[in-house]
Amino acid sequence: MKKLVYTLLGLAGLASLITACSAGGDNPGIEYAPNMYHSFAYEPLSQLAEEPNTINPHGMNMREPVKGTIARGQLDYANYNVVKSNDNYEAASAWKNPLPKSAYNLAEGERLYNINCTPCHAEDGKGEGTIVKDGKYPRVPAYSDRLPTINAGKAFYSITHGKNLMGAYGTVLSPTQRWQVIHYIYELSGAAPVQAETTTN
Ligand code: HEC
């Protein structure tokens, strides 16, 4: 009996040796503990389709943030979080520039304006930017004509959501950067800074 057990153990040992030898390259050989080969990767906001999380919605490992959750440090995004609509454009008139018109904010506004806006609006704000000069783009209004007809809040809204042929910059510039640019374009155009002055928010 003892002999038989030893023989069987020996055979098993041999078998594992042989199968282990067949491993190589991408082939792990026989998998005795598959979980060690196929780790259950945790993706925070998604999960592998074949291994969904069975407790949370959408098979995700992380719970979705509660509706209306604001990321740390982004409280100022929430203040201006409105969908694009004519009503909201009108309502944006009430938004006032919370930043002081300091040398720093004007310099930052100028820097961001020159990067993002000059191809159309031009460095002098008169709307003859390079792509307009090339004749590839229809005329862009001069700030000195347009800004007096709107106000800082509407300018903020249009920069955020875009307007007709102008693209949206809400994902490009933070709210603070948008207000800095607004200080700068009012300064540039010489237009009276309607509601662009410092206010407490
Ligand atoms: C691709 C060209 C283009 C770029 C780039 C562009 N604009 Fe404009 N912008 C326009 C056009 C065209 C209009 C006129 C839109 C209309 O009223 O039909 C306009 C209008 C505006 C207005 C007036 C909005 C209103 O409510 O009447 C503001 C303010 C403005 N742009 C600011 C900016 C700022 C700031 C940037 C850079 C962050 C920028 N634009 C980048 C083309 C552009």
Cα 82 from Cα 65, distance rounded (Å): 19
Q: Whose CA is closest to 132, among 141, 123, 120?
A: 120
Q: Which atom of ligand 1 is nearest to the CA of 182?
A: 35
Residue entry with tokens 């949370």: 56
Q: Whose CA is closest to 113, among 199, 30, 182, 25?
A: 182
The token duo for 198 is 């410092």
User: Residue 74 has what pLDDT?
Assistant: 81
Residue partners of 35: CB distance under 8 A and separation at least 6: none
User: Residue 168 has what pLDDT?
Assistant: 96
Calculated CA dihedral for residues 46, 50, 52, 58, nearest 10 degrees: 60
Cα 85 from Cα 91, distance rounded (Å): 10
Residue nearest to atom 9 of ligand 1 (CA): 166
| 65 confidence band (pLDDT: 50, 70, 90) | confident
Residue nearest to atom 18 of ligand 1 (CA): 164
Distance 118 CA to ligand 1 centre (A): 10
Residue 19 pLDDT greater than 60, yes or no: no
User: Residue 89 has what pLDDT?
Assistant: 96
Residue nearest to atom 43 of ligand 1 (CA): 166
Distance 166 CA to ligand 1 centre (A): 5
User: Residue 152 has what pLDDT?
Assistant: 95
Measured at the alpha carbon of residue 166, what is the angle toward residues 129 and 147, in degrees to the nearest 5? 75
Q: Whose CA is closest to 97, among 110, 109, 82?
A: 109
Residue 66 pLDDT greater than 50, yes or no: yes
Q: How far is CA 170 from the centre of its chain?
A: 9
Backbone φ, ψ for residue 78 (5° rounding): -65, -35
